[in-house]
């Protein structure tokens, strides 16, 4: 995990945060239709190059759309044997996954933090499952 000598506010203000974290969207430009050829091209052409260049150690995939794209285009699967359905974000939430192929990294799929999730997914469980995935990732020596 990230450690810092002062407060988290200082960590953000001295811009060290940007050395440790990078945020992007899996879709690089908006197109009509969830399965359009343009959307697939966006992932294949831009996201693949972006992730290869950045070479992240861990990707947080917030929501079913982000997880679905990463799972499909980067052959992401759970790191350990599990009975959860990797196609359902509410089940795979907090389960550490890994990619195959040219982008070699870990992914932590998480339900999107929108208000519609909270009535099905209590905040305590959301955080607990996320922490479990992070502990598993940290145990890998990252």
Q: Is residue 3 part of a domain?
A: no
Q: How far apart are CA 90 and CA 104, in angstroms?
A: 24
- For 99-112, what is each residue's pLDDT tens digit? 987 788 999 999 98
- pLDDT for 51-107, tens place per residue? 888 888 899 999 888 899 899 888 999 999 999 999 999 999 999 999 987 788 999
Within-domain flag for 2 = no
Residue 86 lies in a domain: yes
Classify residue 128: in a domain, yes or no. yes
Specify the number of domains making up the chain.
Answer: 1
Structural domain contains residue 1:
no
Token couple for 5: 């000598």
Residue 99 and residue 139 in contact, taking contact as beta carbons nearer than 8 Å = no
* Domain presence at residue 19: yes
Query: Is residue 53 assigned to a domain?
Result: yes
State pTM to two decimals: 0.80
Instruction: With H, G, I as helix, E, B as strand and everything else as coil, classify residue 41.
Output: helix
Q: State pLDDT tens for residues 17-50.
A: 667 777 777 766 666 666 667 766 777 778 888 8
Strand partners, 106: 58, 98
For residue 101, the enclosing domain spans: 8-139
Q: Is the residue at 38 inside a domain?
A: yes
Q: C-alpha angle 125/8/5, rounded to 5°?
A: 120
């Amino acid at each position: 995990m990230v450690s810092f000598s002062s407060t988290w506010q200082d960590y953000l203000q001295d811009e060290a945060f940007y050395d440790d974290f990078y945020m992007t969207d899996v879709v690089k430009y908006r197109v009509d239709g969830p399965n359009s050829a343009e959307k697939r091209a966006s992932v294949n052409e831009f996201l693949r190059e972006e992730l290869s260049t950045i070479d992240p150690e861990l990707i947080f995939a917030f929501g079913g759309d982000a997880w679905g794209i990463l799972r499909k285009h980067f052959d992401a699967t759970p790191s350990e044997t599990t009975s959860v359905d990797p196609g359902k974000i509410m089940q795979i939430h907090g389960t550490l996954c890994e990619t195959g192929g040219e982008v070699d990294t870990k992914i932590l799929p998480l339900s999107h933090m929108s208000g519609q999730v909270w009535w099905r997914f209590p905040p305590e469980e959301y955080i607990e499952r996320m922490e479990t995935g992070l502990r598993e990732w940290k145990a890998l020596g990252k």
